[in-house]
Amino acid sequence: MNYLTRRLVTFPLVMLGVSILVFISIRLVPGDAITAMLGTEAGLLTPDQRAALEAYFGIDQGWLVQYGRWLTGAMQGDLGISVTYGKPVLDVILERFPLTLELALLSMAIALLVGLPAGVFAATRNERPSDLIVRVFAMIGQSTPNFVVGLLIIFILSVGFGVLPVMGAFTPFFVDPLQNLGQLILPAITLGFAFAASVTRIARSAMLDVLSEDYVRTARSKGVPALSVIWRHALPNALIPVVTLSGVEFGYLLGGAVIVEQIFALPGLGRMVLDAILQRDYALVQGSVLFIALNFMIVNLIVDLTYVMLDPRIRLGDR
Amino acid sequence: MTPLLSVRDLHVGFGRDPAAHEIVRGVSFELAAGETLAIVGESGSGKSVTALSINRLVDFGGGRITRGAVDLRLADGTVIDLANAQEHQLTKIRGGEIGMIFQEPMTSLNPVLTIGAQIEESFRLHRGLTGRQATAAAKDALDRVRIPDAARRLKYSPHQLSGGMLQRVMIATALSCNPRLLIADEPTTALDVTVQAQIMALLAELKRETDMAMIFITHDIGLVAGIADKVMVMQAGEAVEQGALNAVLDTPRHPYTRHLLSAVPHFEAGRAARTDYRRPETPTEGSAAGPALHVEGLTVRFPVTGGLLRRRTGNVHAVDGVDFDLMPGETLAIVGESGSGKSTTARAILGLVQPTRGAFSANTNTPHGRGRPSVQMVFQNPYASLNPRLRVDSILAEPVIAAGGRISPETTARMTMLLERVGLPLDSLQRYPHEFSGGQRQRLCIARALMLNPSVVVLDEAVSALDVSVQAKVLELLVDLQKEFGLAYLFVSHDMAVVERIAHRIAVLYAGQIVEIGDARSVLSAPRHSYTRQLIAAVPSIERRHETFALDLRQVPSLIRPLGFEPEQAEWQSFGADHRARVEG
């Protein structure tokens, strides 16, 4: 557990670094929150009114003071008030997060359920026609932008089958699972398409390497049936790169998928962050970037722990 | 009675058109129950492909049996032609009727499955055992190959065991279902000689116990004498000679067999040791006639850390107080097994690892090497020690550039001279390493080492990766170069037979310390230290036929010592002018 403690100690340090970077970079962008909020009406404010508004949102002081104030708050769980939503930042984020998490989990499930078998299958059919077909699909999947995939899916469903994607206000899973899945399945397929393609390619190449290893030959010499050679002896050895890739992709998805959220009109983290940047909603940008960074670190930790489960040779912290 | 296995006119090809690319071309042999056939040949002779064709594993490597029959008599007396058998029939036969063990125990076991799971699998597949029964059977299998503490070892992963142990696990797995035929494909090549002797003894013992037939594949004709009943010699995909063991070894008919037998460095208790150099009686320090390399108290330790704060808890005593002199024109062989510290010694002398303590000085006052780095190295694996992206001329220029020199016409002249000297064609300069064979690459490495005119060349297992006939030629070249340039060789090797042919003096390293050092002939013919004796007895030889070794299950002592540990001062006993051994406690 030595490794875990050390990783947990580095968490706050990384967060601190991230927060400083975000704090500075968002303030380097020209424009200010009051103008962004009020638009042309901002010109009508008297200097006193403007100062009062700035004081209300805590942006009247110098950067250092602002950062210090923000940091003290953040350490007590108070990430500040969002200018655009007029609510605590944490509440705004937590409202959006379930959708993003669910979407990311669904996409990853699709990617692994489709990509892993496809990659393994292609590896066992190396250079034969069926392998080439899988590889062409994977290539298409990786190189098609997801807005094209999303629009195509909507187009095919609506024109070809007369079915429209379920739109309207987002329904949380625990309120109405069917309605919820109906809303999320198409965006999940859209995101999972490219994800599955990457998984296919990496699983195929890892499997090809493993299938030529000595221990696979040993398994065959023991009379292990072909399917068992692949799933029991070879696949566990080929999973490490797949886990690495899935971890990174999943981490990105937890930061929100702006384009897909836009196409399917979903209130996810991605659109929220984009709006916050456009609105100069400093507190919300800062809070959400910090939240996303934390997610990424947790995902990385899970990935590392998965390595240990997969391969007994890997000992964390011995390096 | 029909034989257990009968192979007739076997042809195996590879690639898209197997018939046009045949690796095995018409091999035939018969094997009765309880009999051992040794297939001998160099790399590329088709011996492994022949073996893999019997259980049809060759299919998975892109091979195809194009012609011939492989008839196996099953337990119920029916005969099946494996060359035309279906995959579902073959999975029953593999492991059940035919067991197989491979060359590299380290990579032949699945790293993510426990030892137990891998042995149990055979029992589940062929015996239908499950759960406790399978575990109990796996434990018995480990006991059978004399692995101590078997019940606990079942839970180990392969990376927690040594190469010798892993090869026993492999044997246990292959023999778990009492196959009637065992194919052993170079099972001891990757192992140390004493471990090799143990594995060979184990195989011989198990064979007696179970009356199984065995096909033993090896490049080492010396190993054959200890185990085989029949020998088949293969060259370029054909069996050039086969017959009973004694007939083949004593009266070889085919020139290739004779060549193999002569190229195998026979081990003859020092009779083949070199006599072309006499050590000066009293070497005087510092003078021009002084040693080319003087090593005193060389000690290399690697820290062992542990605990929450990763404090230093001990040291690995890799090399502990090694001293020796190496005179110009002399070869000192450092022999020992893996983990004995011989490679660390060599690397410390080159400055590739930082010695903890001790001094060594290389004499730069030789006529050749004034003011230049005087120690160069030739590594074990010629395939990995040449940069594949550099042309030969750049490879040869590398040491000159590294020493701060420029590529002058003299440098180019030296390249040409050395290439010619090591026996490579002159147009080699324009070529890349992949265009050369293993032996040629090692010649390149030797030329590279000589570019700076060193006085000492460290050869770390320099011929171990080569086939015996190539090995003999490279050794000859080394001897010629030594005489011509007055080179001093530090020849690191685990192979006593090679050492006998190149060494003037021998230092035996055990657990980081020299246990015996002296004149080659004297050390080889009258070894004084028990470890040296054990090492020499383990070397396979054509003279000793069907001799059994006693199984020795002692483990190499741990080299990890607590902090501040210092080894006791060594006590030496002299035997003659230049031969001394450590007194054993």
What CATH number is given for A91-310 in this structure?
1.10.3720.10
Give the residue, A249 or B426, on which the prediction is more confident.
A249
Q: Is the pLDDT of residue B384 over 50?
A: yes
pTM above 0.95, yes or no: no
B215-240 pLDDT per residue, tens: 999 888 878 888 889 999 999 889 99
CB contact under 8 A, B125 and A222: yes
Give the residue, A171 or B447, on which the prediction is more confident.
B447
CB contact under 8 A, A310 and B112: yes
Q: Is the pLDDT of residue A202 over 90?
A: yes
CB contact under 8 A, B95 and A222: yes
For the ranges A99-108, B18-27, B570-579, the lowest mean pLDDT is seen at: B570-579
B396-415 pLDDT per residue, tens: 998 888 888 888 888 899 99
Interface size between A and B, measured as CB pairs under 8 A: 78
Q: Is the pLDDT of residue B364 over 70?
A: no
Nearest to B303 by CA among B311, B292, B312, B293: B312
Which residues of chain B have a CB within 8 Å of the CB of A220?
A: 57, 60, 94
CA distance A138 to chain B (A): 26
Across B68-93, average pLDDT: 89
CB contact under 8 A, B121 and A2: no
pLDDT at B260: 81
At which residue do the structure tokens 């190149």 appear? B502
Domain with CATH 1.10.3720.10 in chain A: 91-310
Q: What domains, with CATH codes, occur in chain B?
A: 1-97+181-264 (3.40.50.300), 107-178 (no CATH), 289-304+311-328+337-371+505-585 (no CATH)
Q: What percent of chain B has pLDDT over 90?
A: 27
- Check CB contact of A35 with chain B, cutoff 8 Å: no
CA distance A171 to chain B (A): 43
Across B408-426, average pLDDT: 89
**pLDDT class of A255 with cuts at 50, 70, 90:** confident
CA of B241: how far to CAs of B31, B86, B186, B225, in Å?
16, 32, 20, 16
Q: CA Rg, chain A, in Å?
A: 24
pLDDT at A42: 72
Of A2, A215, A236, Cβ closest to residue B107? A215
Q: Is the pLDDT of residue A230 over 50?
A: yes
- For chain A, the residue count is 319
E-strand ranges in B404-548 read 456-460, 488-493, 505-510, 513-519
- Check CB contact of A314 with chain B, cutoff 8 Å: no
CA of A274: how far to CAs of A104, A148, A186, A253, in Å?
18, 21, 22, 15
A303, A247 Cβ separation under 8 angstroms: yes
For the ranges B283-292, B342-351, B518-527, B561-570, the lowest mean pLDDT is seen at: B283-292
Nearest to B585 by CA among B537, B529, B533: B529
Residues of B (305-324) whose Cβ lies below 8 Å from A: 308
Q: Is the pLDDT of residue B352 over 70?
A: yes
Largest CA distance in chain B: 80
Across B243-264, average pLDDT: 86
pLDDT at B285: 46
Which residues of chain A have a CB within 8 Å of the CB of B57?
A: 217, 220-221
CA distance B98 to chain A (A): 8
Q: Is the pLDDT of residue B289 over 70?
A: no
pLDDT at B363: 60
Pairing, β B357-362 against β B331-335:
unpaired
Which residues of chain B have a CB within 8 Å of the CB of A223?
A: 90-96, 122, 125-126
CA dihedral B265, B266, B269, B271 (to 10 degrees): -80
A140-176 pLDDT per residue, tens: 988 988 888 888 888 888 777 777 666 667 777 777 7
- Check CB contact of B113 with chain A, cutoff 8 Å: yes
CA distance B496 to B196: 13
CB contact under 8 A, B108 and A215: yes
**pLDDT class of B561 with cuts at 50, 70, 90:** confident
Give the residue, A85 or A196, on which the prediction is more confident.
A196
Which residues of chain A have a CB within 8 Å of the CB of B100?
A: 218, 221
CA distance B327 to chain A (A): 42
- Check CB contact of B16 with chain A, cutoff 8 Å: no
The torsion angles phi and psi of B339, rounded to 5 degrees, stand at: 85, 0
Instruction: Give start and end residues of each alpha helix (H) in B72-148.
Output: 87-93, 105-108, 115-127, 131-144
Selected for mutation to probe chain A from B16, B90, B91, B101 (highest A CB count within 10 Å) is B91
The torsion angles phi and psi of B329, rounded to 5 degrees, stand at: 80, 5
Selected for mutation to probe chain B from A125, A222, A227 (highest B CB count within 10 Å) is A222
- Check CB contact of A162 with chain B, cutoff 8 Å: no
Nearest to B340 by CA among B313, B315, B356, B317: B317
Which residues of chain A have a CB within 8 Å of the CB of B96?
A: 223
B138-194 pLDDT per residue, tens: 998 888 887 878 888 898 999 888 888 888 899 999 988 889 999 999 888 877 787
DSSP letter for each residue of B280-292 = -SSPPTTSTTS-S
CA distance A159 to chain B (A): 48
Which residues of chain A have a CB within 8 Å of the CB of B126?
A: 223
Nearest to A173 by CA among A102, A107, A104: A102
Token pair of B325 as six digits: 């002199």
CA distance A9 to A12: 7
Which residues of chain A have a CB within 8 Å of the CB of B311?
A: none
**pLDDT class of A60 with cuts at 50, 70, 90:** confident
Which residues of chain A have a CB within 8 Å of the CB of B55?
A: 221
pLDDT at B556: 57
Sequence-distant (≥ 6) Cβ neighbours of residue B50 within 8 angstroms = B7, B10, B12, B24, B27, B39, B234
Instruction: Give start and end residues of each alpha helix (H) in B244-340.
Output: 245-250, 255-263
CA distance B95 to chain A (A): 4
pLDDT at B272: 65
Selected for mutation to probe chain B from A213, A214, A218, A310 (highest B CB count within 10 Å) is A218
**pLDDT class of B490 with cuts at 50, 70, 90:** very high
pLDDT at B368: 43
E-strand ranges in B364-504 read 375-378, 456-460, 488-493
The torsion angles phi and psi of B383, rounded to 5 degrees, stand at: -80, -25
For the ranges A309-313, B312-316, B386-390, the lowest mean pLDDT is seen at: B312-316
CA distance A307 to chain B (A): 11
Residues of A (53-112) whose Cβ lies below 8 Å from B: none
CA distance A222 to chain B (A): 4
CA distance A14 to chain B (A): 21
B148, B183 Cβ separation under 8 angstroms: no
Residues of B (52-71) whose Cβ lies below 8 Å from A: 55, 57, 60
- Check CB contact of A220 with chain B, cutoff 8 Å: yes
CB contact under 8 A, A312 and B159: yes
Which residues of chain B have a CB within 8 Å of the CB of A208?
A: none
Q: Is the pLDDT of residue A318 over 60?
A: no
Name the DSSP letter for residue B542: S
CA distance B323 to B309: 36
**pLDDT class of B118 with cuts at 50, 70, 90:** very high
- Check CB contact of A219 with chain B, cutoff 8 Å: yes
**pLDDT class of A196 with cuts at 50, 70, 90:** very high
CA distance B91 to chain A (A): 4
- Check CB contact of B107 with chain A, cutoff 8 Å: yes
Q: What percent of chain A has pLDDT over 70?
A: 94
Give the residue, B492 or B267, on which the prediction is more confident.
B492
B298, B323 Cβ separation under 8 angstroms: yes
Element (H, E) at B181: strand B181-185
CB contact under 8 A, A223 and B126: yes
- Check CB contact of A214 with chain B, cutoff 8 Å: yes
User: b/e string for B5-22 if b means 16 or more Cβ within 10 A?
Assistant: bbbbebbbbbeeebeeeb
Nearest to B452 by CA among B517, B388, B398: B398
B119, B151 Cβ separation under 8 angstroms: no
Amino acid at B133: Q
